Amino acid sequence: MTAALVIQVTQHLLSCEDLIHQGWIIEGIPETRELARALQEKGIIPRHIVVLHAEDTVLIERNLGKRVDVFTGEVYHTTFDWPSDDMVVRNLKAPEGISEVETTRRLLKYHRNFPGILQSYEKPMKLINADQPCADVFSQVLTHVQAPPRTSAPFSPRIILCGPPGCGKSLQAVLLSKKYGIINVCCGQLLREAVANETKLGELIKPFLNEGWPVTDNLVIKVLMDRLNRLDCHIRGWVLHGFPRDEDQAKLMRNVGIAPNRVFFLNLTMEAILERLAYRAVDPVTGERYHTLYNPAPSKKAFYRLLTHPKDVEEHVKTKVEMYFRLAGDMKELFEDAVSINADQDPQTVFEYIESYVVNPLPSSPTWKRRKPTLVIVRDNL
């Protein structure tokens, strides 16, 4: 079976409603680094990865003893799991491809591909010795799956990044998420996912996105609460950007119990914003993104075919930025302990400033009164 067919079949199976709600287990896939990467590109990313390992001699011995019931498909073993029913014994047959030579060939292929598969996943794999009773192996796998994910963050951060378009909120959220395992919550992405998944809220949100209108605050807050109340956000913390945009939205968050413990305002002048956004363009042939000043097209031919996204047109950018400056002032007053950072510098320098405030102890007098969080436990996908 080709890699493309494997991906197609896997996508089809994982789109079933029961798997979406109950979770799934994939066994034996991926077999190569290339297939692992291709699955990730399609959004098939497991939360837990378990590797069952044993000595090659043990695996060869196990394989040689396999027998299959030709009628039921049940697998038995001449040493470990021999049926007591003589009728079943008469139906057993050695499956193809289990000879010592064939098993050794498959093991060599596995050992050759495993390092690449290991490098394809950022999450650490749980190595479990399979040369022990099945009940013990299962117990260790279950313990690993049920254990809460670890985070390197000093506490459970609840971070909000505010700032005008082009200030680098998305980039800083990605950097925080990668280093500390914090859940990256992009408000705009949540709305688009709700529409793509055809949820009830998504059907209500869809007309707004199609017409280019702002989604009403009551719909946004429902989508946001659903995401922030999931177990991973409670355990690992979250960094939110794209919401709130004004004082009313900030008050609405407070009223529903969404209380950040770190708020950052990334400040940038109108001139700097226009310099960052109005000179962006994309090559419609290659899909590559360029910037007239910082990352120009490599050739004249590529330069002349560059296109500017309508949202990056100078007049459109000015309108959005002016609206932000008009509304953000009142919001800053609501977050008295918010930290203002000059975003007109190297992104890594901005990240180091944010990081220094994130790792410090919580302020003694937080802006928002702490409330008991409402916890909605969502079943963890396997």
The mean pLDDT value for 161-182 works out to 91
Task: Tell me which residue of 90, 95, 21, 127 sits closest to 378, measured CA to CA.
Answer: 21
Q: Provide the 10 A C-beta neighbour count for residue 20.
A: 12
Q: Is the pLDDT of residue 164 over 50?
A: yes
The mean pLDDT value for 329-340 works out to 82
Q: What is the pLDDT of residue 379?
A: 37
What are the residue ranges of helices labelled H in the chain? 3-14, 17-22, 33-41, 56-64, 86-90, 100-120, 134-146, 169-180, 187-196, 200-211, 217-228, 231-236, 247-255, 270-277, 300-304, 314-334, 347-359
In a domain, 306, yes or no: no
Q: Is the pLDDT of residue 178 over 50?
A: yes
Shared-domain flag, residues 26 and 53: no
Shared-domain flag, residues 64 and 102: yes
pLDDT classification of 150: cutoffs 50, 70, 90: low
> What is the number of helices (H) and of strands (E) in the chain?
17, 12
Q: Is the pLDDT of residue 174 over 80?
A: yes
pLDDT classification of 280: cutoffs 50, 70, 90: confident
Q: What is the pLDDT of residue 360?
A: 73
Structural domains counted in the chain: 3
∠ CA(331), CA(332), CA(333), 5° rounding?
A: 90
Shared-domain flag, residues 274 and 321: yes
In a domain, 297, yes or no: no
Shared-domain flag, residues 236 and 330: yes
Q: Provide the 10 A C-beta neighbour count for residue 237.
A: 24
The mean pLDDT value for 8-27 works out to 82
Shared-domain flag, residues 178 and 268: yes
Q: Is the pLDDT of residue 146 over 50?
A: yes
Shared-domain flag, residues 168 and 134: no
Shared-domain flag, residues 243 and 348: yes
Distance spanning both ends of the chain, measured CA to CA: 25
- CATH code, 143: 3.40.50.300
Pairing relation of β-strands 262-267 and 158-162? Answer: parallel
Percent of the chain with pLDDT over 70: 91
Task: Tell me which residue of 142, 181, 177 sits closest to 48, measured CA to CA.
Answer: 142
Shared-domain flag, residues 2 and 91: no
Shared-domain flag, residues 25 and 59: no
In a domain, 364, yes or no: no
Between 47 and 172, name the one with better pLDDT.
172
Q: What is the pLDDT of residue 376?
A: 38
Shared-domain flag, residues 187 and 329: yes
Shared-domain flag, residues 323 and 180: yes
pLDDT classification of 292: cutoffs 50, 70, 90: confident
Shared-domain flag, residues 39 and 79: no
Q: Is the pLDDT of residue 265 over 80?
A: yes
Residue numbers of the domain that contains 6 = 1-46
pLDDT classification of 286: cutoffs 50, 70, 90: confident
Dump pLDDT digits (tens) for 103-132.
899 899 999 988 888 888 766 678 899 888
Consecutive H or E run containing 52: strand 50-53
Dump pLDDT digits (tens) for 98-111.
888 898 998 999 99
